[in-house]
Amino acid sequence: MIICPTPLPAKELILLGHGSGGKLSADLLRDVFLPAFRSPVLGRLDDQAMLQIGDVRLAFTTDSFVVKPLFFPGGDIGSLAVNGTINDLAMGGAQPLFLSAAFIIEEGFPIGELGRIARSMAAAAEAAGVEIVTGDTKVVEKGKGDGVFVNTTGIGSVAAEIQLSAGQARPGDQILLSGHIGDHGIAILAAREELGFDAPVESDCAALHTLVRDMLDASTAIRCMRDPTRGGLSSTLNEIAVQSKCGVELHESAVPVREAVRGACELLGFDPLYVANEGKLVAIVAADSAPGVLAAMRAHPLGRDSAIIGSVTDRHPGMVTMKTVFGTTRIVDMLTGDQLPRIC
Amino acid sequence: MIICPTPLPAKELILLGHGSGGKLSADLLRDVFLPAFRSPVLGRLDDQAMLQIGDVRLAFTTDSFVVKPLFFPGGDIGSLAVNGTINDLAMGGAQPLFLSAAFIIEEGFPIGELGRIARSMAAAAEAAGVEIVTGDTKVVEKGKGDGVFVNTTGIGSVAAEIQLSAGQARPGDQILLSGHIGDHGIAILAAREELGFDAPVESDCAALHTLVRDMLDASTAIRCMRDPTRGGLSSTLNEIAVQSKCGVELHESAVPVREAVRGACELLGFDPLYVANEGKLVAIVAADSAPGVLAAMRAHPLGRDSAIIGSVTDRHPGMVTMKTVFGTTRIVDMLTGDQLPRIC
């Protein structure tokens, strides 16, 4: 028997926006999952759980991938699933070690494409030095899925001295970004044939753990790191602002955006700040350490275009503002709708 | 760019049977996943990976749940997802500790039902003493999913002296089963309204880790444990026969089957040996320890109806045979089709 200790919420329905990584996702977490699970670890709202088992400190994170299409310029659902979970581990300062892989496949899906996805996962895992050690396969009837969905869950080890958390941002800290934003989201959109839209942009899908290692080697004054995936840079910075109870001030002119991405966004009516990335990270760093961390980032192949894009302030706590290229200041809110469903 | 090191297989398509836990599932693992991932840990084909991290030995396992309907007599997709992953950890002799929970939700799904599922997961986790510490939510368009799919991935700790593996079964070992088979599969079928079929059977969905603990306390001569879920008892025993290169001999009269399950199977043309369980385990135990382990099982609420149902032999290695109630012997093959899709 199911026991319902509290009355069911009103008859609200799940919208695509509940999966956007923006405001509706945060609402769902706050209204449905956190009250049910009541886990202090989950309640920290970091990208990964930190667990102490015996003498070992572990990071643990899960992600399901429902990206459409399955194959796109710069990657596919397989490499995305491996790199995405590696990155969630890396953002906690963990050395990624082991992954699980679980597939939900729609009846009628070509086995050849499944093999191609599996080999892509294996190649991404090998390149990153992690091992896929356990798995699961389920099949649903035609019309009850969409090709294939992949879940990866990862375990990494974390040195005792590493304590990264969004709650640690302090006024005066600098905000570092590892490169151009919006590549992944625009590459996915361009790969959706029905949009009849083309852009010379590849997904930035990449494993960031060696970049993170170089940054941690360069400084012990990194407060937190996050990868701005679903919901884009704006949602990540809003989360940091809320969790640290500080304000975040961006400088629009400092945020790297490729011309092709900027053009596509103008065409489609999108703001690059809300477009997903899969190979970028944001770091909050104490001001006097920021130049050293920036130098370490620029020395890494995945951080060549890193930039300091703003700072943490004690003004307007919990909010993100941006000094625009026109000299005005505007509020950068969390994503509220479903700008780009199924980009990961 | 995607790199395809080997030519794509012929244009074969995924069938529902590839998710059955039977022969087609094994084919998919052998032909697609094992060649791609080439992991020695994955290749052991146990229900969980055993990992050594520093001084700590961990079990790690993943499962996606696509059961239909979401709510059924004796449980729901939430309790099933928690107990199922706990059981995969427990079958390795692990103490389950932490779970992740990832949801793929179809647009339009009622948030109230999602909350009900989350609370059921929380209740199952609390009852079992495990914590859900990290999660993920994705949303797919209406018609691209089926209500909600849940992935749980689990971590448990394993004492250094515990070494359970199907490969360790030896001729003379006894086969112990913790109770009646087929309850879960028949309860799910009866809950599918379109079948217009009713049976007074509840799912046996339960967390088996305390039963396992009592068994391991009773004897150090347990070779392996498995929970006969998808594909039923027959598939589990076939896996043990293949991995141990021994034969398995069942005694039909010793296998506990409830009258209601037997009746439903006769009506539907099913064999209870192939029907899924979600709260039963099979243990292979050295003969002289079998009575002690059986007594420990019967002393546990989830093992009251435990029985010795057969033995391991050196005849017909890799195969399962059964002495029927009519005195004949028949081969019990792996499930080859999709007898009961989406039972977990």
Per-residue pLDDT reduced to its tens digit, A269-283? 899 999 999 999 999
Task: Look at strands B131-140 and B95-106 and give their pairing.
Answer: parallel
Q: For residue B228, count CB atoms less than 10 angstroms from its CB and return exposed for 0-12, middle for 13-18, buried for 19 or more.
A: buried
CA distance A214 to A176: 14
Of B342, B302, B272, nearest to B83 by C-alpha is B302
Of B32, B274, B134, nearest to A112 by C-alpha is B32
Of A90, A61, A84, A88, nearest to A211 by C-alpha is A90
CA distance A80 to B225: 35
The answer to whether A32 contacts B341, with C-beta atoms less than 8 Å apart, is no
3-state secondary structure chain A: CCCCCCCCCCCCECCHHHHCCCHHHHHHHHHHHHHHHCCHHHHCCCCCEEEEECCEEEEEEEEEECCCCCEECCEEHHHHHHHHHHHHHHCCCCEEEEEEEEEEEECCCEHHHHHHHHHHHHHHHHHHCCEEEEEEEEEECCCCCCCEEEEEEEEEECCCCCCCCHHHCCCCCEEEECCCCCHHHHHHHHHCHHHCCCCCCCCCCCCCHHHHHHHHHHCCCEEEEECCCCCHHHHHHHHHHHHHCCEEEEEHHHCCCCHHHHHHHHHHCCCHHHCCCCCCCEEEECHHHHHHHHHHHHCCHHHCCCEEEEEEECCCCCCEEEECCCCCEEECCCCCCCCCCCCC
Residues 6+ apart with CB under 8 A from B254: B307, B308, B309, B310
Paired residues of A175 in beta bridges: A284, A310
pLDDT at A1: 37
The answer to whether A108 contacts B14, with C-beta atoms less than 8 Å apart, is yes
Q: Nearest by CB to B3, which of A41, A55, A123?
A: A123
pLDDT band, very low/low/confident/very high, at B11 (cuts 50, 70, 90): low
The answer to whether B111 contacts A14, with C-beta atoms less than 8 Å apart, is yes
pLDDT band, very low/low/confident/very high, at B274 (cuts 50, 70, 90): very high
CA distance B45 to B41: 8
A contact residues 122-161, partner B, Cβ 8 Å cutoff = 122-123, 125, 131-141, 143-146, 149, 151, 153, 155, 157
Which of A189-198, A245-254, B11-20, B280-289 is predicted least confidently?
A189-198
CA distance B90 to B47: 9
The answer to whether A28 contacts B101, with C-beta atoms less than 8 Å apart, is no
The answer to whether B19 contacts A155, with C-beta atoms less than 8 Å apart, is no
What radius of gyration, in Å, describes the C-alpha atoms of chain A?
A: 20
Cβ-Cβ pairs closer than 8 A, A with B, add up to: 313
Q: Nearest by CB to B62, which of A14, A58, A102?
A: A102
CA atoms within 13 A on the CB side of A255: 26
Tokens of B324: 């029927």
The answer to whether A13 contacts B110, with C-beta atoms less than 8 Å apart, is yes
- For residue B330, the SS3 value is strand
pLDDT at B7: 43
The answer to whether A25 contacts B153, with C-beta atoms less than 8 Å apart, is no
Q: What is the mean pLDDT of residues B80-93?
A: 98
Query: What secondary structure does DSSP assign to B197-218, as a single string?
Result: ---S--------HHHHHHHHHH
CB contact at 8 A, B32 and A118? yes
Residue B9 has pLDDT above 50, yes or no: no
Which residue matches tokens 């030896």?
B170
Residues shown for chain A: 344
Of A323, A334, A321, A256, nearest to A294 by C-alpha is A256
The answer to whether A13 contacts B109, with C-beta atoms less than 8 Å apart, is yes
Q: For residue B197, count CB atoms less than 10 angstroms from its CB and return exposed for 0-12, middle for 13-18, buried for 19 or more.
A: middle
Residue B1 has pLDDT above 70, yes or no: no
Paired residues of A131 in beta bridges: A98
Q: What is the mean pLDDT of residues B138-149?
A: 97
pLDDT at A4: 40
Q: Nearest by CB to B37, which of A55, A132, A143?
A: A132
Partners of A28 on chain B (C-beta within 8 Å) are 111, 114, 137
Of A242, A187, A270, A281, nearest to A23 by C-alpha is A242
pLDDT at A47: 83
Interface test with A, best of B56, B63, B138, B194 (most A CBs within 10 A): B138
Of A178, A67, A85, nearest to A130 by C-alpha is A85
Residue A144 identity (one-letter amino acid): K
Which residue matches tokens 């999108």?
A270
State how far residue B291 is from chain A, nearest Cα, in angstroms: 33
- Phi first, then psi: give them for residue B192, nearest 5 degrees: -85, 105
Angle at A16 between CA B342 and CA B85, to 5 degrees: 35
Partners of A155 on chain B (C-beta within 8 Å) are 51, 53, 58, 60, 155
The answer to whether A144 contacts B141, with C-beta atoms less than 8 Å apart, is no
- Interface pTM (ipTM) of the complex? 0.94
B contact residues 42-101, partner A, Cβ 8 Å cutoff = 42, 48-49, 51, 53-56, 58, 60-66, 71, 76, 97-98, 100-101
The answer to whether A41 contacts B134, with C-beta atoms less than 8 Å apart, is yes
Residue B198 has pLDDT above 90, yes or no: no
Residues 6+ apart with CB under 8 A from A240: A166, A169, A224, A226, A246, A248, A282, A284
Letter string b/e over residues B7-43, b meaning 16 or more CB atoms within 10 A of that residue's CB: eeeeeeebbbbbbbbbbbbbebbeebbbebbebebbe
| pLDDT tens-digit readout, B223-270 | 999 999 999 999 999 999 999 999 999 999 999 999 999 999 998 889
Residue B239 is inside which H or E element, if any? helix B232-244
Paired residues of B98 in beta bridges: B131, B155
The answer to whether A4 contacts B116, with C-beta atoms less than 8 Å apart, is yes
Q: Nearest by CB to B54, which of A56, A143, A341?
A: A56
Residue B160 has pLDDT above 80, yes or no: yes
Higher pLDDT: A291 or B46? It is: A291
Task: Look at strands A131-140 and A75-76 and give their pairing.
Answer: unpaired
pLDDT at A6: 47
The answer to whether A111 contacts B48, with C-beta atoms less than 8 Å apart, is no
pLDDT < 70 positions in chain A: 1-11, 194, 338
